[in-house]
Amino acid sequence: MSTHDLTRLASNASPPTDAGSQANELDALLETAATQIAGDLFRHDPPRSGEIERAIDFIEDELMRPGAPVAPAAHGAALWSTAPALQAWAAVSGPTLTVELVEQWFQRLALAAHGQSGALQGLPPGREAAASLLVLREFMHHRGHAAITVASARKTLVAPSPSA
């Protein structure tokens, strides 16, 4: 994968391409909109179908608001993230989440919303996890990303320079 195909989501690193605005947007959505969805729109765990529909409307409005980047990802572009909101999802399947896998998980969330709570077995629990999944799904669909690679956040220690 070339650096032009990589959208990096780390608050301490800038993406190397024009996709940086999308990286910043997803990072912000995972930090703020997912939190708002979990706290204000998802009143039940698992959320009910009406709550999911309202959350989809909310995130689609956020994605389409004036000033938001609307260009789809370049063909084959993938996301890369150290976002804490995605760590539990990566723990379920490994670091690469395809849009198909995210969609399968979302369908399981929809089944749970219709009373089949066993559909969520093995997936991260809680409203925050459900909100992060919803945000990721909508972002990937609307921006055309085929996959996201989730890496563990690591702090880089910089040794002091030797004295002269």
pLDDT at 1: 35
* pLDDT, tens digit, 9 for 90 and up, residues 76-123: 566 778 889 999 999 999 999 999 999 999 999 999 999 998 999 999
pLDDT at 153: 64
How far apart (Å, rounded) are the C-alpha atoms in residues 91 and 87? 6
pLDDT at 19: 45
pLDDT at 23: 55
How far apart (Å, rounded) are the C-alpha atoms in residues 82 and 146? 17
How far apart (Å, rounded) are the C-alpha atoms in residues 120 and 72? 30
DSSP reduced 3-state for 96: strand
Report the pLDDT averaged over residues 70-76: 58
What is the token pair recorded at 161? 């320079």
Backbone φ, ψ for residue 122 (5° rounding)? 90, -5
Which whole-number Å values give the CA distances from 104 to 18, 21, 149, in the listed order? 30, 27, 17
Q: Which of 5, 134, 143, 144 is nearest to 63 (CA)?
A: 143
> Quick one: which H or E segment has residue 9?
strand 6-9
> Quick one: which H or E segment has residue 131?
helix 127-143
Core vs surface per residue 73-89: b (16+ CB within 10 A) or e: beeebbbbbbbebbbbb
Asked if residue 21 lies in contact with residue 14, where contact means CB atoms within 8 angstroms, the answer is no
